[in-house]
Every structure is written in structure tokens, then in C-alpha cells.
Amino acid sequence: MGTKRPTKRGISLFRAKDAVNLEDTDFMSAPEMSPDTAAAMTACFVAGMGTGAQTKVVLRQSEAEGGFSLVTIWLKPGFPLPRHTHDADCLYYVLSGTAVMGRQTLRAGDGFFVPKDAPYQYSGGPDGAEVLEIRRGVESFDMQISDVTPESVSAMLELTEARRDQWERMDVSPTTAANVAR
């Protein structure tokens, strides 16, 4: 009887065109928030906030496959993510445009690391932002939205109402457009 050989792992390709919308998967649980925050966020989405971003799962491996996940986030110009946390570490890399975190502007080639349970928020810059989100060893993750203030909800509603038409006209991210053009 010989010894068992380890299973070989090979190269895996993944294509942007095969990515699925995050909300069509069980990868992230529905955001958790207080009833007041839920009501405020619902008002923002009724006003069109949902048209301001696109999140796609490009790669999601099982632990046996390596346990990596790769998600693309396209924030259209000015789109504000609410302050939130996740129950898993995450590494972010800006592909195009700019992402604004407080007083910091992150450009293509910049990135940031967010440890699990650390609250954070960022938004798309004047031309939007495409961001890669990378995790490892995570079967699924949560999203906890911190309580939002009336001022922040008012600002999100105002921005959504001002940008909705622009966001609706933008249906393909710059990276996806470049990939499809080939």
C-alpha cells in the first residue's frame, strides 16, 4: 500500500462576464441594522440609491480550492456606502477612479485593509471607483450598518436624488466595458 498523494491544484481562470451579482448569492447576509436605520436606508433606496453601485462576485472558492474570494465593487460618481462593518478581514484595491475615505483620496493602485468588525465608510469620487475586494477563508460574511444620523440620511437622499439619472445611464463599469470590447 502506497502513501496517498496530495490532491494537485491547478490553475483556475475566471471571467468578468461570468461574475454574478452579490445579492444573487448567499455570500453576504442581508445587512443588519436598527429599525430606524432600516427605515432611513429604505427611503434612500426608494429614491434610487440602488442604481449607484454594482457588486459582483467574480471568484468564490471552497476551502479545498484555496478559500479565496474576489468581488468587484463599482461605485458610480459620488455613491456613498454607509458606515458599516463585516465579520471578516478584507483587503481592498482601487482599480480605477477614486475612492474617498474621510479626508483620504485613494487612486488606482492604492488600497486599504479593514480588519473584521472595524467600522468604515467610503464613497466613489467624481468619476466613481472600481474596487477589488479580496477575502480568504470565508464561507460567507455579514454586514452591520451602524446607526445613521438624520444628517447623514439627508445627505445620502440629496445626493441620490441629484445623481439618480446619471447613475441610471451608467450600466457598464469601465473595466467590464474594456473586457467586452476585446
pTM (2 d.p.): 0.86
Q: For residues 175 and 182, what is the distance between their CA atoms, to the nearest angstrom?
A: 11
Residue 11: what pLDDT? 79
Is a pLDDT exceeding 80 seen at residue 181?
no
Q: For residues 163 and 182, what is the distance between their CA atoms, to the nearest angstrom?
A: 30
Q: Which residue type does 108 have?
A: A
Contacts of 14 (CB under 8 A, 6+ apart): 58, 59, 70
User: Considering only CA atoms, which of 129, 94, 91 is closest in space to residue 110?
Assistant: 94
Topology of the domain comprising 19-160: Jelly Rolls (2.60.120)
Residue 14: what pLDDT? 76
What is the rounded average pLDDT for all residues in the chain?
Answer: 89
Annotated domain spans of the chain: 19-160
